[in-house]
């Protein structure tokens, strides 16, 4: 077949294939145009998940009659006066309106600022009509009907009305975060109306879009490296989500979904969050427009940085520092949610008749506090039984719990290397002060073999002993990596672990680093590794499982991350294998040593998987629960 030049309609349809993937992409383009037009109010209406109708109304500068037909023609734009190096608008390609017009029925009504008349232009699957006079008091109304109706290939791939409608909301939320002063409203028969009123500042808009609880459970980020700035809020690791929909990333005010940025965000949380959880974050990157190319893809969601390493380092570094500085903060979500539930149940409990069989089934406390159902009263098992002194809990307040501890009893439990982590509370100078004055208070009891209950000045703290210990071991391992090597224990007979050849390669490549952690390995044939020593800190472990986990870890982060963060991952994996499992009974001084260790340890408020290591209940809250306030 001979080479021919495609006609304009075909060219527009081809462009539309890239710009317009689904109704939400149309909304993105139209709302971006309204933002570029300087609007202060933008209203979006949808029907049928955007498949039947999309309408965007703004009060921006409008389009003069003479330019309306250009606006719907390809490669016509009012925005590129500064060249591609200095893009200050969201649009610049002059492709959106003609693309949409080629695959739908498009109408653009507009009244340009300072003009007395409004005009309308129609484009029906590429066929243009107008402009002709119409009625409109100000701004622009763009309406799109029957999107993709004549493009069956695309129509087939659209999701349900609900999913498309949700995708539209997502696009609007992202743009609303980028433009806090603009009022956004999104309504239609396929949804409940959402309004983001004009906000005073970014903080207020973040509250509207992401939620007030996010603001309360995040740290603020403000970092700069070589004229690249990063600002915004990063959710506490314990405030994680099951998907990445709550990650809002912006480059020079443009919402993006760039892979490198998303991976940098993950990198910042890598230490403190499980792989299957996702952080919540609103982050703005600001840099000289000449240092970033936004013209990578027609949808403009990807960007390319001149120096991606710098940007990645800035993000990862800023997040890690913020979490380390936030120290002993745990998400309030867990405690607040539990409180709400307790209170809700407490409300339906009728106080009368009060009986003194509090812990019997159906008793006064049974509903609100989930007392053991089977429990016939057994004085020996009662929480009020006289305590044996060797037991975990004690009724009289010990004046100084920790001083009674034999030195380094805490060490033995925590398995810490001496000195470094100073978990040994009895050796600490504060040991003579009232333990309740410590942030995590004085240990009073251990429940269900895993929960330490401590009394603080303001209320009580419940610690997940396994999670907390895992964190401490991890931090100790990290210190060991950067300081002196950890002691190891020789195995009597080397253990041979069979692995895939490339897993074995990867592990042996890092044999030096692993040796610092006390794990001595050697190549043993093409597809096996011999383990001669294991880290003493871990005690008895399943060596084969540890090696498999480690090689998975190295495979995942091997190519992308820096050597240090790779090693930090190794440490996290090792820590997980060696932590005090729940179920182990701790003595009071061991518990207090753990609490003091947590207070001294950076990022101690969550375990390596991002679960909280402790929750705090204020005395206020407890009193409210009992109706004392
Ligand atoms: P781009 O935004 O890349 O310039 P578009 O096809 O989206 O390309 O829009 C073409 C032109 O139409 C814009 O450059 C702008 O001048 C004008 N325009 C589109 N939408 C609006 C609007 N809501 N208000 C004012 N002008 C608009
Ligand atoms: Mg545009």
Indicate which residue's Cα is closest to atom 14 of ligand 1. 77
Residues 164, 42, single domain; the answer is: yes
Q: Which ligand is nearest to the CA of 16?
A: 1
Give the pLDDT band of residue 396 (cuts 50, 70, 90). Answer: very low
**Ligand 1 mutation target, pool 19, 34, 36, most atoms within 8 A of CB:** 36
Decide: 421 and 476 in contact? Cβ < 8 Å.
yes
Give the pLDDT score at 409: 31
Express each pLDDT in 548-568 by its tens digit. Answer: 777 776 765 544 344 455 566
Residue 150: inside a domain: yes
Residues 89, 230, single domain; the answer is: no
Residue 72: inside a domain: yes
Give the pLDDT band of residue 76 (cuts 50, 70, 90). Answer: confident
Residue 382: inside a domain: no
Give the pLDDT score at 416: 39
Any ligand 1 atom below 6 A from CB of 37:
yes
Residues 172, 214, single domain; the answer is: no
Residue where one domain finishes, among candidates 325, 352, 370: 325
Residue 463: inside a domain: no
Residues 226, 280, single domain; the answer is: yes
93's torsion region: left (phi>0), alpha (psi -120 to 50) or beta?
alpha
Residue 352: inside a domain: no
Express each pLDDT in 175-217 by its tens digit. Answer: 999 999 999 999 999 898 999 999 999 999 999 999 888 888 8
DSSP string, 307-335: -HHHHHHHHHHHHHHHHHHH-S---HHHH
- What's the 141 CA to ligand 2 centre distance in angstroms? 14
Among 582, 619, 588, 595, which Cα is nearest to 387's?
588
Q: Which ligand is nearest to the CA of 109?
A: 1
Lowest mean pLDDT among 37-41, 74-78, 219-223, 299-303: 299-303
Any ligand 1 atom below 6 A from CB of 94:
yes
Residues 189, 286, single domain; the answer is: no
- What's the 93 CA to ligand 1 centre distance in angstroms? 10
Express each pLDDT in 266-302 by its tens digit. Answer: 888 887 777 778 899 999 999 998 888 887 776 667 7
- What's the 15 CA to ligand 1 centre distance in angstroms? 16
- What's the 320 CA to ligand 2 centre distance in angstroms? 37
Give the pLDDT score at 64: 94
Residues 170, 21, single domain; the answer is: yes
Residues 218, 95, single domain; the answer is: no
Residue 125: inside a domain: yes
Indicate which residue's Cα is closest to atom 12 of ligand 1. 71
Any ligand 1 atom below 6 A from CB of 61:
yes
Residues 127, 17, single domain; the answer is: yes
Indicate which residue's Cα is closest to atom 7 of ligand 1. 96
The parent domain of residue 297 ranges over 210-325
Give the pLDDT score at 122: 95
Residue where one domain finishes, among candidates 532, 553, 577: 577
**Domains identified in the chain, total number:** 3
CB proximity list for 532: less than 8 A, separation 6 or greater: 490, 491, 494, 520, 521, 522
Residue 368: strand, helix, or coil: helix
Residue where one domain finishes, among candidates 196, 225, 241: 196
Residues 135, 238, single domain; the answer is: no
Any ligand 1 atom below 6 A from CB of 58:
yes
Residues 258, 151, single domain; the answer is: no
* Mean pLDDT calculated for residue range 404-411: 32
Residue 594: inside a domain: no
Any ligand 1 atom below 6 A from CB of 71:
yes
Among 280, 204, 214, which Cα is nearest to 249's?
280
* CATH number for position 282: 3.30.230.10
Residues 43, 95, single domain; the answer is: yes
* CATH number for position 72: 3.30.565.10
pLDDT of 349 above 50:
no
Express each pLDDT in 366-385 by its tens digit. Answer: 222 232 333 333 333 333 33
Percent of the chain past pLDDT 70, that is, above it, reads 73
* Mean pLDDT calculated for residue range 146-155: 86
pLDDT of 259 above 90:
no
Give the pLDDT score at 390: 33
Residue 132: inside a domain: yes
* CATH number for position 504: 3.30.1370.100
Residues 286, 150, single domain; the answer is: no
């Amino acid at each position: 077949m001979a080479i021919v030049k495609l006609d304009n309609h075909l060219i527009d349809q081809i462009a539309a294939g890239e710009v317009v993937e689904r109704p939400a992409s149309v909304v993105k383009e139209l709302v971006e145009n309204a933002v570029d037009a300087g609007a202060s109010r933008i209203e979006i209406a949808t029907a049928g998940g955007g498949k039947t109708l999309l309408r965007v109304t703004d009060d921006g500068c409008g389009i003069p009659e003479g330019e309306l037909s250009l606006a719907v023609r390809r490669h016509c734009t009012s925005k590129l006066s500064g060249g591609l190096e200095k893009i200050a608008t969201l649009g610049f390609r002059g492709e959106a309106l003609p693309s949409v017009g080629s695959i739908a029925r498009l109408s653009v009504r507009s009244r340009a600022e300072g003009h007395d008349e409004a005009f309308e232009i129609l484009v029906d699957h590429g066929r243009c009509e107008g402009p002709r006079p119409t009625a409109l008091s100000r701004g622009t109304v763009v309406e799109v009907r029957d999107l993709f109706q004549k493009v069956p290939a695309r129509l087939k791939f659209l999701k349900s009305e609900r999913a498309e409608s949700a995708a539209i909301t997502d696009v609007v939320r992202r743009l609303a975060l980028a433009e806090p002063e603009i009022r956004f409203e999104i309504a239609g028969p396929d949804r409940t109306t959402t309004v983001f009123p004009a906000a005073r500042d970014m903080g207020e808009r973040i509250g509207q879009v992401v939620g007030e609880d996010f603001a309360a459970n995040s740290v603020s980020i403000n970092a700069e490296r070589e004229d690249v700035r990063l600002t915004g809020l990063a959710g506490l690791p314990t405030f994680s989500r099951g998907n990445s929909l709550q990650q809002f990333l912006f480059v020079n005010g443009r919402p993006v979904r760039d892979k490198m940025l998303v991976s940098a965000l993950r990198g910042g949380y890598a230490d403190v969050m499980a792989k299957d959880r996702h952080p919540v974050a609103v982050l703005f990157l600001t840099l000289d427009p000449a240092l970033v190319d936004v013209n990578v893809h027609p949808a403009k969601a990807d960007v390319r940085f001149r120096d991606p390493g710098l940007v990645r380092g800035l993000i990862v570094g800023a997040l890690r520092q913020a979490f380390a500085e936030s120290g002993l903060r745990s998400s309030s979500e867990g405690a607040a949610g539990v409180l709400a539930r307790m209170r809700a149940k407490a409300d339906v409990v009728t106080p009368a008749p009060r009986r003194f069989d509090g812990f019997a089934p159906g008793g006064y406390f049974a509903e609100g506090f989930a007392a053991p159902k089977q429990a016939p009263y057994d004085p020996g098992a009662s929480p009020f039984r006289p305590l044996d002194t060797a037991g975990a809990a004690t009724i009289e307040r010990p004046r100084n719990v920790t001083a009674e501890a034999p030195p380094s009893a805490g060490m033995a439990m925590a398995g810490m290397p001496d000195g470094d982590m100073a978990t040994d509370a009895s050796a600490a100078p504060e040991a003579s002060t009232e333990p309740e004055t410590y942030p995590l208070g004085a240990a009073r009891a251990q429940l269900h073999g895993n929960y330490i209950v401590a009394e603080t000045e303001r209320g009580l703290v419940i610690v997940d002993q396994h999670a907390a210990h895992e964190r401490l071991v991890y931090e100790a391992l990290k210190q060991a990596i950067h300081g002196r090597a950890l002691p190891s224990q020789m195995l009597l007979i080397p253990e041979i672990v069979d692995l895939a050849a490339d897993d074995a390669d990867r592990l042996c490549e890092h044999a030096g680093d692993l040796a610092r952690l006390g794990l001595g390995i050697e190549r043993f044939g093409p597809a096996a590794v011999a383990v001669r020593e294991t880290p003493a800190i871990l005690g008895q472990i399943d060596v084969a499982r540890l090696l498999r986990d480690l090689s998975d870890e190295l495979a995942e982060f091997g190519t992308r991350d820096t050597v240090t963060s790779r090693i930090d991952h190794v440490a996290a994996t090792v820590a997980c294998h060696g932590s005090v499992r729940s179920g182990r009974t701790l003595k009071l001084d061991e518990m207090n040593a753990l609490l003091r260790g947590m207070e001294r340890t950076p990022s101690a408020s969550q375990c390596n998987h991002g679960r909280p290591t402790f929750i705090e209940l204020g005395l206020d809250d407890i009193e409210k629960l009992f109706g004392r306030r």
